[in-house]
Amino acid sequence: MSEINFVDLHSGAVKKAGGLQISTTGKLLVGITGGIALGLTAICAPFISPALRRFCLPYIPATNEQITNVLNALKGRKGSLLDLGSGDGRIVLEAAKNKFVSHGVELNPWLVLYSKFDAFKQGLSDNTKFHRKDLWKYDVSKYNNIVIFGVEQMMADLEKKLQKECKNCKVIACRFPLPNLIPEKTIGQGIDKVWVYNFEPS
């Protein structure tokens, strides 16, 4: 006996005796929906995944006042600069404009791409580099100046890393100080305050 087909006028699907066959339009909609969901996951994952790490270092753009305070802390300095957790790259780019060889370390791939594009757009690509790396695994020993926008919970471990790796370096901590060291000076007030530390060879 031949199979009996019924046409569903509302959905455009073809019903067979024993089941429902999805129409071409239905397959197309399923494919589009799945593609959108996959795309959103790929975009959102780098922003959500920091919350799953030991220390959550969220992306919070530096304020203009914070950038000014960092640049004031760097007055009279030269050489190389590293921004640990460089986010959108603003500190790196401003330092490059002030003749520093500036690098940023950032785990979020979208922020790294954005920073590279912004550096290219501003004509600063030759003086800047952005690395997609875990800051805890990145060797900071070759830098003369280091800037960090951290969270309070990570500062003690970060202090140990800096003490172990820094040779002769100025460290500028933003938002939170290093807990066991006395700063050389502080600049600014409130959330825009920065703490300046001098790391010398032991």
Task: Tell me the domain boundaries of the chain.
Answer: 5-52, 64-199
What is the amino acid identity at position 153? Q
Backbone angles phi, psi at 92, to 5 degrees: -60, -45
pLDDT exceeds cutoff 70 at 54? no
Contact assessment for residue 26 and residue 54, using Cβ atoms and an 8 Å cutoff: no
Would you give the distance in Å from CA 107 to the centre of its chain?
A: 5
Kind of pairing between the strands at 128-131 and 145-149: unpaired
> Which residues on adjacent β-strands are paired with residue 82?
103, 146
| Residue 52 pLDDT grade (very low, low, confident, very high; cuts 50, 70, 90) | very low
Average pLDDT over residues 174-187: 95
Contact assessment for residue 86 and residue 130, using Cβ atoms and an 8 Å cutoff: yes
Q: What is the pLDDT of residues 28-51, one digit of tens each?
A: 666 676 656 555 444 444 444 444
**CATH superfamily to which 64-199 belongs:** Vaccinia Virus protein VP39 (3.40.50.150)
Residue 16 is predicted with a pLDDT of 46
Average pLDDT over residues 153-174: 94
Beta strands in 19-142 (DSSP E): 19-21, 80-84, 101-105, 128-131
Q: What is the pLDDT of residues 62-109, one digit of tens each?
A: 899 999 999 999 999 999 999 999 999 999 999 999 999 999 999 999
Distance CA 98, CA 155 (A): 27
pLDDT exceeds cutoff 90 at 180? yes
Q: What is the pLDDT of residues 115-127, one digit of tens each?
A: 999 999 999 999 9
| Residue 15 pLDDT grade (very low, low, confident, very high; cuts 50, 70, 90) | very low
Distance CA 113, CA 119 (A): 10
